[in-house]
Amino acid sequence: MRAIALTEYGGPEVLRLSEVEDPVYGPEEVLIRIRAAGVNRADLLQREGRYPPPAPAPKVEIPGLECAGEVAAVGARVGLFRPGQRVAALVPGGGYAEKVAVHERLVWSVPTGLSSTEAAAVPEAFLTAYDALTQQAGLTAGQWVLIHAAAGGVGSAAVQLATWMGTHVVATVGSDEKAAWVRGLGADYVVNYRQQTFLEVIRAYTPGMDAVLDFVGQTYWEDNLESLVPGGVLVVVGTLSGDRVQARLGVLLGRRLTVRGTALRSRPLELRFALVQQFVRRVLPALAQGRLKPLVDATFPLSEAARAHAYMQENRVQGKIVLTV
């Protein structure tokens, strides 16, 4: 099959299409004929050699954490899927390819209304956002959440999910164009951080945040903690600006704050199975009904993965970038 196999680390130019062996699927695995694969920020780090795939290391390193397509074949013990079925999956790697083998419990059927391109924009963004809002932050209807990088893939899914759950949202973005777009997703307040600090807005218009979903890290550390009400939770989902902070432990102690880190890909398989099961039961029906939407900003053919990465690096994305296969 053809795939983007990493033979060296570096800039977008190292993403080249090559011929590699077809994946071998195990008894509990589904072999997917990929039609579309989502691009994630983590893929950029992997390309640079800064985000190695989880052990055991694959023979050929192919990026790609999510995909959609049809079932090409199933292992002997697979009970949930049959060849020909349209599916999407959360994969630990291997999405930038024509085929991938994945455990059946990380796969789900694509609702009829969604194209493969839309379905491929869902797994990583919606599962990460859903998990962060519910399991990590424990948010419920009527509470407040601050969502950074809100026009990004995970951020835009988080704004939609939080609004759908009845949670009030303050969002941050880096341009007025993004701000208007995120307002359209249901956020109560959107801050263009180039013009105003989010802390000003939170203090002026809200009772304080019950939780913060942070992708930025270092530069937002102090203001994130200042945003929280007593007992609030800071969920560290990404560290785009760096991961070094100076902590004033007295602030955590005095206001009973919780700081939680989360990572999807390195989570034990059983925990990923459980999350997928919850997502299929609770969130997928809303995607099928159009109450939640996969938001695809741009598509590129798999052979142009380098252009897709360069585009993501420009930070202009509103929603997701998808590679078509």
Ligand X SMILES: NC(=O)c1ccc[n+]([C@@H]2O[C@H](COP(=O)([O-])OP(=O)(O)OC[C@H]3O[C@@H](n4cnc5c(N)ncnc54)[C@H](OP(=O)(O)O)[C@@H]3O)[C@@H](O)[C@H]2O)c1
Question: How many Å apart are CA 287 and CA 201, to the nearest integer?
Answer: 31
90 binds ligand X (CB under 6 A): no
Residue nearer to ligand X on the CB measure, 33 or 320? 320
CA 196 – CA 224 distance, rounded (Å): 15
Indicate whether 88 belongs to the interface with ligand X (CB under 6 A).
no
Q: Under the criterion CB under 6 A, does residue 153 sit at the interface with ligand X?
A: yes
Q: Does residue 5 belong to the site contacting ligand X (CB under 6 A)?
A: no
User: In this structure, which amino acid lies at residue 143?
Assistant: Q
Looking only at residues 159 through 198 of this chain, which bind ligand X when binding is defined by CB under 6 A? 173-174, 178
Among 3, 100, 149, 292, binds ligand X (CB under 6 A): 149
Q: Is 37 in the site for ligand X (CB under 6 A)?
A: no
Q: How far is the CB of 251 from ligand X (least distance, A)?
A: 23
Query: How far does CA 64 lie from the centroid of its chain?
Result: 12
Of 92 and 155, which CB lies nearer to ligand X in the complex structure? 155
Contact pick of 78, 169, 216, 233 for ligand X (by CB under 6 A): 216
18 lines the binding site for ligand X (CB under 6 A): no
Greatest Cα pair distance, the chain, in angstroms, is: 60
* 16 Cα distance to chain centroid: 24
Per CB under 6 A, does 102 bind ligand X? no
Strand partners for 145: 169, 211
Pair 132, 158: CB distance under 8 Å: yes
- Asked whether the CA dihedral 295, 96, 114, 141 is positive or negative, the reply is negative
Site membership for ligand X, residue 262 (CB under 6 A): yes
Cβ count within 10 A of residue 129: 24
- Name the strand (E) or helix (H) holding 95: none
Q: How far is the CB of 323 from ligand X (least distance, A)?
A: 14
318 near ligand X, rule: CB under 6 A: no
From the list 108-116, 137-145, 260-268, 300-308, the region that binds ligand X by CB under 6 A is 260-268
Give least dist CB 106 to ligand X, A: 14
Half-sphere exposure of 158 (CA within 13 A, CB side): 32
Is the Cβ of residue 69 or residue 155 nearer to ligand X in the bound state? 155
Provide, rounded to whole angstroms, the least separation between the CB of residue 264 and ligand X: 4
Among 119, 120, 154, 322, binds ligand X (CB under 6 A): 154
Contact between residue 302 and residue 325 where contact means Cβ atoms under 8 Å apart: yes
Of 98, 124, 210, 214, the one binding ligand X (CB under 6 A) is 124
Q: What is the DSSP string of 216-245?
A: S-GGGHHHHHHHEEEEEEEEE---TT-S--
Task: Return the closest-CA partner of residue 48 out of 6, 81, 88, 105.
Answer: 6
Q: Which residues would be at the binding site for ligand X (CB under 6 A)? A: 40-42, 124, 128, 149, 151-155, 173-174, 178, 215-216, 237-238, 240-241, 262-264, 312, 315, 317
